[in-house]
Amino acid sequence: MLQYEENRRIYERSARLILLLALRDVCPGATLRMEHSIGQGVYMNVSGVSLTAALVRRIEAKMHEISARNLPIVKSRWTREQAIAYFDAQGQTDTVRLLRYRPFDFFNVYTCDGLSEYFYGDMAKTTGEIDRFALRFYYPGMVLLLPGDDLSGPPAPFVERPQLMRTYAEANEHSRILHCETAADLNDLIARGEGRTFIRVSEALQERVIAGIAERIVARGARVVFIAGPSSSGKTTFANRLSVQLRVSGKRPVAISLDDYYLNREQVPLGPDGTPDLECLEAIDVPLFNEQLIDLLAGREVELPRYSFYTKRREEKGVKLSISGDDILIIEGIHGLNDALSSDIPSELKFRVYVSALTQLNLDCHNRIRTTDVRLMRRMVRDHRTRATNALETMQMWDKVRAGEEKYIFPFQEKADVMFNTSLLYEIAVLKKYAYPLLREIGEDSLYYTRARRLCKFLHYFKDMDEESEIPPTSILREFIGGCTFYGE
């Protein structure tokens, strides 16, 4: 999967270059902004022209023509002054500002058919290598569709995700409120000494969203709140902050750990690699879980199981629990959005929250920041702090974690009643000082060196933020860098 991921990134970057060439020819003067992933594609907006389905088809046809011409993509080493002068002449002011912050005097620039672009990562050698893609109009922008992870076969079909798009739209609105849409915007405000205020407003915006979710739960009359999301999204801190807001509304949240419903290890189904698959739904005692939830909601006392990860078995004695009418059960787990987990519970009593770190910053208009990269750095920093794990060990397990997310989490995200974005606009500038030294420890002889080098190059674009003391002890980011009061740190 590692090689698939790196190859896919090369493929996507090269396809974006072909798209820029096609846009230059079909819509002279139009500008493109890469936004975010949507399924196996990338959503983007175009300014300077009104997109229509017919126009998008023309751009796609031009892309295929450019691919068929098999044009060379040439890498050149430019000086900082040379690169800044070129991109300034092209009107790419966000790229100019970005390059001024990068602490190196030379840059790799890729040129094809007279168009030069800056991408942080390797590219294909020719346009002919990139021949499987599609372009789809999706108002008000368009989606560049690419093949699956192994790059075999046709472009993946477009799957509409309205919940995800609304959440990204909200994130972009927060970026506009804070006047911070690119890495250079963040660097500028740090340089101006506005870091403390920026942290305060970023956290306040996030708290306002959490309060709104609590209000919706109460208005719905929900009794069970399921919280699910991919690794390193900050689910646990979100659950604690949501509990605080529910208390403000006069409710008493009661947390139940889905981990305690694991079957004894010998009963857990095996995965493709022959090891117990702890991420599949069949590893959970679903009948007992449903039975006890029904009893609790009916006012009956139950004895919750307790699972020991040390013995890999359920303990003989559990924990007795009963709840009242004002109590709301909070359940965090990767299967929370899967109807099969709680099929016996009436839907009107349930409220589902999908939590993820949907990064809204771009490096510049043509280089997006991947949510996966930020989550990986969060995970590395937390693993090193709490488990004395180095970056290499985290990366070695990361691909398996990602495979589990693709199978058990992402297919159910649109079933959520609400999505919550845990990403903070300032967080990369804080994570940098923790993640960068860990990444630098991965040597050239490692299978993961390419990934580590790419992440290091990515972090070079950001200034350090020294106002860490301003980050609240209940911040999502504290779950990773430490100092979170929810965990007694």
pLDDT by residue (tens digit) across 47-91?
999 999 999 999 999 999 999 999 999 999 999 999 999 999 999
Token match 């790059």: residue? 151
Q: What is the token pair recorded at 199? A: 């942290």
Average pLDDT over residues 6-27: 94
What percent of the chain shows pLDDT beyond 70?
Answer: 99
Q: Burial of 24 by CB count in 10 Å (0-12 exposed, 13-18 middle, 19+ buried)?
A: middle
> CA-CA distance, 489 to 473, in Å (whole number)?
9
> Has residue 489 got a pLDDT over 70?
no
Whole-number pLDDT of residue 76: 95
What percent of the chain shows pLDDT beyond 90?
Answer: 72
Confidence of residue 483 (pLDDT cuts 50, 70, 90): very high
Helix, strand counts (H, E) of the chain: 14, 18
**113-125: pLDDT as tens digits:** 999 999 878 899 9
Alpha helices, H only, 232-352: 235-248, 286-297
**Residues β-bridged to residue 367:** 364
**310-330: pLDDT as tens digits:** 898 999 899 999 999 889 999
Q: Are 222 and 254 in contact (CB under 8 A)?
A: no
**442-462: pLDDT as tens digits:** 999 999 998 999 899 889 999
Is the pTM higher than 0.85? yes
Q: Are 329 and 341 in contact (CB under 8 A)?
A: no
Average pLDDT over residues 346-360: 93
Of residues 63, 68, 28, 70, the one with CA closest to residue 135: 63
Question: How does the average pLDDT of the chain come out, rounded?
Answer: 92
DSSP 293: H
End-to-end C-alpha distance for the chain, whole angstroms: 36
> Has residue 3 got a pLDDT over 70?
no
> CA-CA distance, 125 to 273, in Å (whole number)?
35
Q: Are 317 and 189 in contact (CB under 8 A)?
A: no
